[in-house]
Amino acid sequence: MRISVEQRLRRPRWLTVAVPVGSIVFAFLVAAVVLLATGHNPLPTYRELFDAAFLQNQSIDQTLIVATPLAFMGLAAAAAFRMKLYNIGAEGQMYLGAITGSAAGLYFGGRGGPAPFPIAAMVVAGMLGGAAWALIPGILRAFFKTNEILTSLLLNYVAGLLLTYLIFESESYWRQTKGFNASVFPTGKPLPHNAVWPGWTLHIQGGLTVPLGAFFAVLAAVVLWVLYKRTRFGFEAQVLGDSPRAARYAGVRMRRKILAVMAVSGAIAGLGGASQVGDFSHALDGDPNGLQKIGYGYTGIVVAALGRYNPFAVVLIAFLLGGLENAGNTLQGPSFPAGLVGAIQGIILFSALGGEILTHHRFRITRKTKRVAAAAPEAVA
């Protein structure tokens, strides 16, 4: 008997329903086995997970804190991956966006003026910072054919060290130097009030604040969708991704496109960085035990893949994964090891991604053994 995997020529409609459903159900079943094996009752655990993620008081408020950066990171990855440009550097581009964004906030926020101006400056500066960082692997790829996966990944570490350097190892513009507390432990200089991004507070679930960044993320998704679906630019980028030779033949300028797509991807990640500062930390977070420990940029790649690079799906998946992450911290404790939380999250993600293969491929089981057996007597004779 042999099992072979073949590409599906036709995708039956029921599959698009059955596969995601099956994957999730499968994930919860497997996770249930793990839970039972470690002495936990799966049903109350799952209930607690959903409660913490979406249902209990202020859960969505907390979920949005994770979902917002994940949406930016997912969109950044999707924008580049769509053209088969594997920008793994959203993490570092986010740091750069945080650095340039907070610089703009500190500079313009301190000098009065109309309130929206410092925030607009942060948005622009964040996008520019992220785009500039993304253009490094972009240029290397476009002009020297350097593999962008490696360069963009390694630049994440450089960006992380730069972030730490600015707060921990230098008396930079970003570092708070006034006061004794600041000398005990290094912190970023707090943003002036008019540079702090406002949230939209809803009086449901015991208070729910939708950060300004979440709106920007949705806006970025719309822009990305229009860019790829309704413009020549997006069409060319996709053709280039699918068949570089065909695109060349049609006169698409390869280098320009690579640079442009990397810049768009980096700009979205950089905007995510500016949102981290403006929406959440209100100061540049250089602590390696802070923003850098979480790794939104890497989770963003998973978000992009699960959303199949569709901008709207990416935003939705970011929200769901944000809930999962948020619930993880609620679940863990003395009777529920953090490693088990990670295992359950991993099983869900793995199943959801693994299920994808079934929509594009099918497994065929061929019974080779019978034919061999039938042929055998002849050989003997």
Partner 1 sequence: MKRRKLALGTLLLVIAALTLVFASASSGSPKASTPYKVAFIYVGPHNDGGWSQAHENGRLYVQKMLGSKVQTTYKENIAVGSQFNQTVASLAAQGYQMIFATSYGYITPQIAAKYPNIKFEQATGTLVAKNVSEYFGRAEDTIFLSGMAAGYASKTGQIGDVLAFPIPEVVRHANAFALGAQYAHPGATVRVVWTHSWFAPAAEKKAAQSLVSAGVDVLGQNVDSPATGQYAESIGIPWVGYDSDSSKFAPKSWLTASVYNWGPYYLKRIEEAMAGTWKPGFYYGSINDGFTKLAPFGPGVTAADKAKILAVEKKIENGTFYEFTGPLYDQSGKLRVAKGVKMQVLKGGTNSLYGINWFVKGVIGSPKG
Residue 91 contacts partner 1 per CB under 8 A: no
**Rounded to the nearest 10 degrees, how much is the dihedral formed by the CA atoms of 353, 355, 357, 358?**
-170
> Is the CB of 44 or the CB of 112 nearer to partner 1?
44
> Quick one: tokens of 122?
């942060």
55 lies in the binding site for partner 1 (CB under 8 A): yes
Calculate ∠ Cα 366-367-373, nearest 5°: 150
Q: Which is nearer to partner 1, 117 or 225 (CB)?
A: 225
Q: How far apart are CA 153 and CA 141, in angstroms?
A: 13
List the one residue out of 22, 24, 18 whose CA is nearest residue 348.
24
Beta bridge partners of 6: 362
Interaction residues for partner 1, span 126-155 (CB under 8 A): none
CA distance 89 to 102: 20
In this complex, which beta carbon is closest to partner 1, that of residue 34 or of residue 55? 55
Q: d(Cα 149, Cα 166) in Å, to the nearest integer? A: 26
Q: Which is nearer to partner 1, 137 or 188 (CB)?
A: 188
Q: Does 275 bind partner 1 (CB under 8 A)?
A: no
Assess 231 for contact with partner 1 (CB under 8 A). Answer: no
The answer to the question of residue 329 lying near partner 1 (CB under 8 A) is yes
CB of 377 to partner 1, least distance (A): 50
Q: Which residues pair with 336 in a beta bridge?
A: 333
| Buried b or exposed e, range 198-224, using 16+ CB within 10 angstroms | ebeeeeeeeebbbbbbbebbbebbeeb
**Tokens linked to 53:** 């993620």
The rounded distance, in Å, linking the Cα atoms of 301 and 308 is: 10
Q: Collapsing DSSP states into helix, strand and coil, what is residue 7? A: strand
308 lies in the site for partner 1, by CB under 8 A: yes
Residue in 17, 29, 222, 357 binding partner 1, rule: CB under 8 A: 17
Measured from the CB atom, the residue of 60 and 136 that comes closer to partner 1 is 60
Position 203 contacts partner 1 (CB under 8 A) = no
7 binds partner 1 (CB under 8 A): no
CA–CA–CA angle 271, 328, 34 (5° rounding)? 135
Residue placing its CB nearer to partner 1 in the complex, 138 or 176: 176
186 touches partner 1 by CB under 8 A? yes
Say whether residue 58 binds partner 1 (CB under 8 A). Answer: yes
Longest C-alpha distance within the chain, in Å?
A: 99
251: left (phi over 0), alpha (psi -120 to 50) or beta: left
Taking the CB of residue 161, how many other CB atoms lie within 10 A of it? 14
Binding of residue 202 to partner 1 (CB under 8 A)? no
The minimum distance between CB 84 and partner 1, in angstroms, equals 19
Q: Assess 345 for contact with partner 1 (CB under 8 A).
A: no
Residue among 30, 332, 343, 362 that touches partner 1 (CB under 8 A)? 332
Please select the residue that binds partner 1; options are 3, 9, 39, 289, rule is CB under 8 A. 289
Mark out the alpha helices in 250-367 (DSSP H runs).
Answer: 254-275, 291-294, 296-306, 311-331, 338-360
Does the protein bind partner 1 through residue 243 (CB under 8 A)? Answer: no
Question: Cα angle at 366 between 361 and 369, to 5 degrees?
Answer: 155
Q: Does 83 bind partner 1 (CB under 8 A)?
A: no
351 binds partner 1 (CB under 8 A): no
Nearer residue to partner 1 within complex by CB, 151 or 326: 326
Q: Can you tell me the distance from the alpha carbon of 301 to that of 310, in angstroms, rounded to the nearest whole number? A: 13
| Residue 330 in contact with partner 1, rule: CB under 8 A | yes
HSE of 146 in the Cβ direction (CA atoms, 13 Å)? 15
- Closest CB to partner 1 among residues 251, 334: 334
> Which positions lie near partner 1, rule CB under 8 A?
11, 13, 16-17, 19-21, 24-25, 28, 43-44, 46-47, 50, 52, 54-59, 61-62, 65-66, 164-165, 168-170, 180-181, 183-187, 276, 280-282, 285, 287-291, 293-294, 308, 310, 313, 316, 320, 326, 329-330, 332-334, 338, 359
